[in-house]
Amino acid sequence: MLVFDKLFIGGEWVSPATNRIIEVHSPHDQSLVGTAPEATKADMDLAVKVAKDAFDNGKWSTMAPKERQAVITKFNDLHAVKAQEFAELITSENGSPFWFTSMLQGSLQEQTNTYLRAAKDFAWENQLATGPMVLAEPVGVVAAVIPWNAPHQSALVKVIPALLAGNSVILKASPETALDALAMANLFNESGLPKGVLSIVPAHREASEYLVLHEGIDKIAFTGSTAAGKSIASNAAKQMKRVSLELGGKSAAIILEDADFKEAVAGLKFSSFANNAEACIALTRILVPRSRYTEFEKEMEEMVKGITVGDPMNMENFIGPMVHKAQQEKVKSYIKLGLEEGARLVVGGLETLEGLEQGNYVQPTLFADVDNSMRIAQEEIFGPVIVLIPYTDVEDAIRIANDSNYGLSGGVWSASRKKGLEVARRIRTGTVTVNSAASSFDAPFGGYKESGIGREFGGFGLGQYVEYKTINI
């Protein structure tokens, strides 16, 4: 069991303002994984004070970009060494299958490397041909607020570019994954990050809201639900805070008539169900041509039936438990709703999985004959429930795909690269994959519509953490 009794504030381990404790329990068997202090409003006040003092009076914000890059490079190396250790801890906290956390943690060195490459080439000072000098300066104090489903990825995709740009950062970790956040803290000290620049504070909603509304915060970088993002954006506007929001999704996969169905279904196993389908980018609406609907449904049924569910530490299990009981009940309520809406249940359902009664498990569930107007086709479920929606022709498929309040991700499968690209161009979403193409950390990631504001990764993400100043000489 992992026990923390102090908060990481400004590079120091500090006793919390109260004796409130966060208990992290295994979603698999409810055993106690560890405990951490719960940050309260007083702790947030201290974190903001320290961060602001470091920004105004410290050396990090005025340090040469190359010096900051050297510190982050060292952190990246230290973090990579502990990739599998962190993967195991995260799986024990949030129930993500170990095969997934292991893969994701292993990729984070490259995620940070893309920011480092971008920082090396970034125009921190640029003399325009017409005379003015343009400076890219840090925003100030950044509140990075992250969810529990991919905690180190969500943390570093914000903390790293914010630090590279010279900002001070307060990382607000989710209580479900408080342990792995605090476990990462000492690596920043070992890397040479100056005192005061970074705080890591796990907290529940009340203290989190207090942090983002704090007058000492200059920018909010948030990943989470669209509802929470709207609230943050509304309140931030009143204070003219800078915001970047990576929010929810209800992404569509368009299976074109000429697609190789076996390849498409194999790709959808990962695109739709990876990380227990607790992923904003999951492809949860599968659009299938009516002319081949029955054939595709059979392929999907076979794939979903074959998904192994169980102890997330077992590499043989593809899906683990939902992060907590409330999430399990939410997902089950959507399965019940789908039945009430008239969707046809193909695989899965509400039954408790034998031998896994103690855990927060939900059966991988596939609905067919779904109309895009149904709530199970419009609302983000954040669990292993996907729907098959028939379409008549390509125009109909594009219309259905775009008939959503969200626009984060999407997919197209076709035997023709040209056709796939033509359809991908017309989907109103931030990222589209054609035939399960691999993604890149160099490319911008973010959403259209209610899926967010701003972009992450590489130079696009780095630019979210600077203010531009023009000096006319």
Q: 3-state DSSP call for residue 15? A: coil
The answer to whether residues 271 and 282 touch, using CB atoms and an 8 Å cutoff, is yes
Which helix (H) or strand (E) segment holds residue 252: the answer is strand 251-255
Query: Concatenated DSSP letters for 271-328?
Result: HHHGGGG--TT-EEEEEEEGGGHHHHHHHHHHHHHT--BS-TTSTT-SB---SSHHHH
HSE-up (13 A, CA, CB side) for residue 101: 32
246 in active site: yes
The answer to whether residues 384 and 275 touch, using CB atoms and an 8 Å cutoff, is no
Nearest to 413 by CA among 300, 274, 275: 300
Active-site pick, 246, 380, 450, 456: 246
The answer to whether residues 155 and 185 touch, using CB atoms and an 8 Å cutoff, is no
The answer to whether residues 220 and 241 touch, using CB atoms and an 8 Å cutoff, is yes
Active-site pick, 38, 278, 280, 297: 280
Which helix (H) or strand (E) segment holds residue 173: the answer is strand 168-173
* C-alpha distances out from residue 473 to 89, 125, 126, 417, Å: 54, 14, 13, 51
278 in active site: no
The answer to whether residues 320 and 91 touch, using CB atoms and an 8 Å cutoff, is yes
What amino acid positions are annotated as catalytic residues? 246, 280
